[in-house]
Amino acid sequence: MLVFHQCWDFCGFWFQTSIIFLILLDPTTASQFRLACMKTYRITELGRRFGLSRSTLLYYDRIGLLQPSGRSQSDYRQYTQSDLSRLERICFFRDAGLGLNEIARLLESANDDSSILERRLREIGREVAALRAQQRLLAGLLKTVAAGIDTSGLDQELWLSLQRACGLDEAALKLWHTEFERRAPNAHHEFLLGLGLSEKEAIQVRMLTKNVEDNTMEMKYFFEVFEDLPRQGPGCQEATLRALSLLKNLPKKPKVLDIGCGCGMQTKILAQEMKTRILAIDNHRPMLDHLDRAIALEKLDIETRELSMIDMPFDPQSFDVLWAEGSIFIIGLARGLKDFRTFLKPDGYLAFTEMCWFTGDPPTEAKAYMDSVYPDIKTVDEVRQMAVASGYAVIESFNLPASAWWDDYYTPMLALLQELKAKNARVAEAEAIYKNCELEVEMFRRYSESYGYTFFILQKTR
């Protein structure tokens, strides 16, 4: 036993001496050795943990906000537990409304007062989240009570347990939500909100027509497709400029709101052409992060806010122009026309794009496809009639060219899908998303003469 200890002591001495020489001779190798001795995370693991895209983390690295503690021998970024804690604070401050420059200054501050304020801010955040959850539940119950339905005690957990008790499997649940969405999309949305889901969660369930439990994983793959595309729907610079040219007699510095801005391709055009501050809102933070980076790089006069179009906190008659390219369908055309009008000043403009039939007698296959994915689709004339009935004058409407679908939307999407198919091979949820995307592209390739996006420019009547 004594010999063992003597040999172990000698080996320990040799090991420590070797490490000292390693550090003196090769700092890079020493750093890799140090990282190898602790828990580290790859950039994809970090992104998955915090719901951030790889491009966002690369941007944080480039501006010095969050740099990895080291790299592996294969030159992969390696993040430590300390880096993870720093990113947690970054996300917390960002959600609290601070800009990236402010966050950077705050992280470098060692002021005791700031740590006290941060603790209190976290406490308030938890209190607000709890109150919002209660508010959503109570609002949902009030809506159902107003409709004469007794749903006391009905929440998401009870609803799911009732579904299981009735023997509804995953396929039956999907069919149930699909039929609800097809027959009454607005009522479906209100029902989901009444269960206590957030507006964003309700939209996700509607888009996927899946049960609530299965939604989170599929949305991960859904956003992986759309977050990094130049546009999240059909559109082009020429169409945006044409719509802009139809807005007459605006104030010198009009108040403009871009609703559902996504990554902000059209928002940047509005800022460049209108020479006024543009307020851009979206309910998905990573999209706004894309736009924020463009704003900083191109020095554009745009303010972004993470807000829902369903509950916009603005005073009536706040804006001269409301812009909604490819987004009004989320709230529903009828409700969008009604609700958006509230926020327009007299003679204010609403510009939006909407999926429309270009013919009154579409091909059978195209009709069947639209019945399954967007049953609310209307003809251009029907939308114009709805606009007039909702208190607008139709200034003009025009169909987007096929290039608006291909250049910044379908073509980059198809290229990205090939990469994602290899990355997520044999992941059933991901493959279902990719299959639906490819079907959408193929249907448009066959029937683009029958349907597409139409740009509508409306003016509020007094």
DSSP 308-377: -GGG----TT-EEEEEETTTHHHH-HHHHHHHHHHTEEEEEEEEEEEEEESSSS--HHHHHHHHHH-TT-
Specify the pLDDT at position 155: 60
Question: Where does the chain hold its CATH 1.10.1660.10 domain(s)?
Answer: 24-108
Residue given tokens 């995370």 in the structure block: 41
CA separation for the pair 113, 319 (Å, rounded): 39
Using DSSP, state whether 64 is helix, strand or coil.
coil
CA separation for the pair 332, 311 (Å, rounded): 14
Using DSSP, state whether 277 is helix, strand or coil.
coil
Architecture of domain 237-460 in CATH?
A: 3-Layer(aba) Sandwich (3.40)
Number of neighbouring beta carbons within 10 Å of residue 287: 23
For 186, phi then psi, to 5°, come to -65, -40
**What's the predicted TM-score (pTM) here?**
0.59
Question: Where does the chain hold its CATH 3.40.50.150 domain(s)?
Answer: 237-460
Q: Could you tell me how far CA 360 lies from the centroid of its own chain?
A: 34
Q: Parallel, antiparallel, or unpaired: how do β-strands 256-259 and 77-80 relate?
A: unpaired
Task: Note the pLDDT tens digit of each residue in 87-102.
Answer: 988 888 887 777 788 8
Task: Note the pLDDT tens digit of each residue in 144-164.
Answer: 545 554 544 556 566 666 555
Kind and range of the H or E element at 19?
helix 2-25
pLDDT band for position 53 (cuts 50, 70, 90) = confident
Q: What is the dihedral of CA 106, 112, 117, 122, to 10 degrees?
A: 80
CA separation for the pair 41, 79 (Å, rounded): 5
Q: Which residue has the higher pLDDT, 459 or 175?
A: 459
Decide which of 1.10.10.10, 1.10.1660.10, 1.20.1510.10, 3.40.50.300 is the CATH code for 24-108. 1.10.1660.10
Q: What is the mean pLDDT of the chain?
A: 80
Using DSSP, state whether 414 is helix, strand or coil.
helix
Specify the pLDDT at position 196: 65
For 224, phi then psi, to 5°, come to -60, -30
The Cβ-side half-sphere exposure at 261, using a 13 Å CA radius, reads 32
